[in-house]
A and B are shown apart, each in its own frame.
Chain A
Amino acid sequence: MQTTLQENPDASERAFINQVIASQSDRPGALLGILEAVQEHHPRKYLPMETLRYIAARTGIPPSIVYSVATFYALFNLQPQGENTICVCRGTACHTRGSRNLLETLRLELGFGREDESDEATDSDKLVLTTEDQRFTVRTVACFGQCALAPVVEINHKICSHVNEHTLQRQVRELERESK
């Protein structure tokens, strides 16, 4: 464990984490802010296990609490994220307006296969899938609070309203061309 602490995260990453921890000081609930800043700083927008271990060691917060917080909030990713993030709303309003079909379209378009073929946690609120080439991440969210615009899909932090399978397909192909 000691050796990994030396190598990973690397020196500049460690310097950044130290700085974030120092700026958050001993404020109660500082861990959330630290995790958020560190994840945002990471080029792949995630928290590697070694980073969590390092944060726990630096702050003195028990590793179990750091891991617990990082897994409780859907905001935190423990897996590397793709270049583009597509977030499908699976709330009630969007569901009744056909968001399941949108998700299905995305799965097929990006080559994940139909939902009943792969993982068992199909309708869970925390579905996160990343393509093998690391270009796309598809995730679901319980509600964006934009129910009047249902069905809603968020593409790279931009909300798209009244999405149908055609427009979604077009957007994805556009992104595919751009990031080539």
Chain B
Amino acid sequence: MPQTISIRIDGELVSALQGQTILEAAKQAGKYIPTLCYFEGLSAVGACRLCIVEVAGTDKLLPACTTPVQDGMSVTTTSPKLTQYRRIALELLFVERNHVCAVCVSNGHCELQNLATSLGITNMRHWYNYPNLPVDLSHKRFVLDHNRCILCTRCVRVCAEVEGAHVWEITERGISSRLTSGLNQPWGQVTDCTNCGKCVQVCPTGALAEKGWAVEEMVKQNDNISGLAHRKGGQ
């Protein structure tokens, strides 16, 4: 049994288990920290920087999903500084691809959009990149729209860690990074794919979606995936 320690979250004294991350401890205590690339049950990568928190004693903003709790730690989850940095992280995600909410299947049910709304983003302070990106319609049931992908790698992780097929991976690097299936094949031609649709359901945006839905109609059904991951021995 891991040792119980106490930490402060927004001034409130809460107990946590040794080895837990700040995010897990906060969730347990009923505190909300915004997340995007984190998905319960999958390994945490700390890539989106939305869950950054202030920890007393360090000037650095630390990602709550990968930082383990320490005895006596004092964590701040909301502050003007954190809001500012979270907005920057989101804005850069928006300008990197072509996120046009009005014509997206996930409009209204999109985690990226919801976070932007809750952080009060109404417009971008940077130029959009407008990259020329393809849409992969080769799979018989699902669609991959690179324009809406934020490279959170949730699909990569759910496919590798829960389904065990490892169809997805990020290829290239930097600004040319792309989500790729198999050996850069069209998704429909990847024989490893089991058509389970977990990647579609964990995708926070409309990048992976089911075919046959119109604008605003794609609601992700991912409640059971965390449970499945836990049974597979996930975190």
Chain A residues with CB under 8 Å of chain B are 1, 49, 52-53, 56, 62-68, 71-72, 121, 124-126
Contacts and interface: CB of A to CB of B under 8 A. Distances in A.
A72 B183 CA distance: 13
Interface string B146-183: 00000000000000100001111111111010001111
Interface in B164-204: 165-174, 176, 180-184, 191-192
B138 to A, nearest CB: 15
A120 to B, nearest CB: 8
Contacts of B176: 121, 124, 126
B182 A1 contact: no
Contacts of B192: 62-63
A52 B173 CA distance: 19
Contacts of B171: 67-68, 71-72
A67 B166 contact: no
Contacts of B169: 62, 64-65, 67-68
Give the one of B160, B170, B171 with max A CB within 10 A.
Answer: B171
A63 B173 contact: no
A149 to B, nearest CB: 27
Given A64-B181, A66-B183, A72 B191 contact: no
A29 B202 CA distance: 29
Interface in B203-234: none
B183 A67 contact: yes
Chain A: interface secondary structure? helix
Contact of B167 (A64, A71, A126): A64
Nearest to A56: B183
A125 B165 CA distance: 32
Contact of A64 (B168, B172, B174): B168
Contact of B182 (A64, A71, A72, A121): A64
Contact of B183 (A63, A124, A125, A126): A63
Nearest to B164: A62
A110 B173 CA distance: 28
A58 B183 CA distance: 15
15 contacts: A49-B183, A53-B183, A62-B166, A62-B192, A63-B183, A64-B169, A64-B182, A64-B183, A65-B169, A67-B169, A67-B171, A67-B184, A68-B170, A71-B172, A72-B171
A110 B167 CA distance: 40
A67 B182 contact: yes
Contacts of A62: 160, 165-167, 169, 192
B172 A1 contact: no
A66 B192 CA distance: 14
Contact of B166 (A65, A121, A125, A126): A65
Given A68-B180, A71-B172, A125-B174, 16 more contacts: A1-B191, A49-B183, A56-B183, A62-B166, A62-B167, A62-B169, A63-B182, A63-B192, A64-B167, A64-B169, A64-B181, A68-B169, A68-B170, A68-B171, A71-B173, A72-B171
Given A62-B166, A63-B192, A65-B166, A52 B172 contact: no
- Most A C-beta atoms less than 10 A away, residue of B165, B181, B182: B182
A71 B176 CA distance: 10
B171 to A, nearest CB: 4
A63 B191 CA distance: 11
